[in-house]
Amino acid sequence: MVATDIETIEEKKSLSPFRHFTAADWGRLRQDTPLPLSERELEELKGFGERISLDEVSEIFLPLSRLLNLYIGETQELYRVTSDFLGREQDKVPYIVGVAGSVAVGKSTMARILRTLLARWPNHPKVDLITTDGFLYPNAVLEKRGLMQRKGFPESFDIKRLIRFLSDVKAGSPRVEAPVYSHFTYDILQGETVSVDQPDILVVEGLNVLQPWKPADGDEPQPFVSDFFDFSIYLDADEEAIRRWYIERFLSLRRTSFKDPAAYFHRYSKLTEDEAVKTADAIWTSINLANLHKNILPTRQRADLILRKGDDHRIRDVYLRKL
């Protein structure tokens, strides 16, 4: 296990920029917020092989949706006050929530659940979700640049296009288009887009979304992805647990979607169990763990909220940045 800043937080709570809650303590902050989600709906929101229960949604995600609802309400009031001050109506711009974390830690499921819960508060019913996978360069471009083995690293994304997208959304532009990525074909779907049309809230989920911009010599300052966020969340876990979850997911996919001849990873369906474990472990170590260490984990302390999972995949600790 790599020594973590979370451990330092525990040792020096009085000096930490975060306030720590156990899952049970955090759960009590939901107060009387009702759970607007059924078991059937939760099953539809889960990612492949994801383990999450309605109890955990109630304990972790309901208090989070309540907190964000309060923050968003204050932001909406600020628009009203500004309009009064200027003597004219101000256009509301979306409140953007960023969700970061490693491959296989459960970001996508968390983002979908959060989107659903936020959309059921009455004062901001229009909530959209975008994953930054859509802004990966197409495989043909990655192959030409020798980046296929670094897919998911910052240099494999069309950052300029992502920044332009977020800038247009934050400016309140109507019908902003984003590209679509397929995990089945492992590539951008050419000609397909998803439209974001002036939502109240936009949830942006991705590996490297909390990274600050790193200028090269002579570069002019420019905005980066995290500059557009009003609130950010990092989903955390011990790296050995994430490795195990990644391998378990790989083995499950080998028995299911990889069997389709049209799947990009169809070749892995023919591996024996031992070969599949070794292959998954090698991919994890050479690509995903390297990306986690170099690019993802260092951004954790930039988040407004850190949710830390235990070995059982359940969120056990919550760290909320002090105001």
Threshold 0.85, pTM exceeds: yes
pLDDT of residue 48 exceeding 90? no
pLDDT of residue 296 exceeding 70? yes
DSSP 313: S
In this predicted structure, what is the pLDDT of residue 14? Answer: 57
Q: Which residues of 35-54 are buried (b: 16+ CB within 10 A; e: fewer)?
A: eebeeeebeebebebbebee
Residue percentage of the chain with pLDDT more than 90: 79
In this predicted structure, what is the pLDDT of residue 13? Answer: 54
For residues 284 and 114, give the distance between their C-alpha atoms in angstroms, rounded to a whole number: 27
- pLDDT tens figures, 30-39: 998 999 999 9
Residue with token string 């897919």? 151
- pLDDT tens figures, 205-257: 999 999 876 665 666 667 889 999 999 999 999 999 999 999 999 999 999 99
For residues 164 and 273, give the distance between their C-alpha atoms in angstroms, rounded to a whole number: 44
Q: Report the pLDDT averaged over residues 50-77.
A: 93
- pLDDT tens figures, 97-132: 999 999 999 999 999 999 999 999 988 789 999 999
**Domain ranges in the chain?**
5-321
In this predicted structure, what is the pLDDT of residue 3? Answer: 43
pLDDT of residue 79 exceeding 80? yes
Our measurement of the distance from residue 196's CA atom to the centroid of its chain's CA atoms, rounded to an integer in Å, reads 17
CATH classification (class only), 5-321? alpha beta
Of 291, 278, 295, 322, whose CA–CA distance to 151 is shortest? 291
Indicate the range of 80-94, 169-183, 213-227 predicted with least confidence: 213-227
More confident residue, 7 or 130: 130
For residues 290 and 155, give the distance between their C-alpha atoms in angstroms, rounded to a whole number: 14
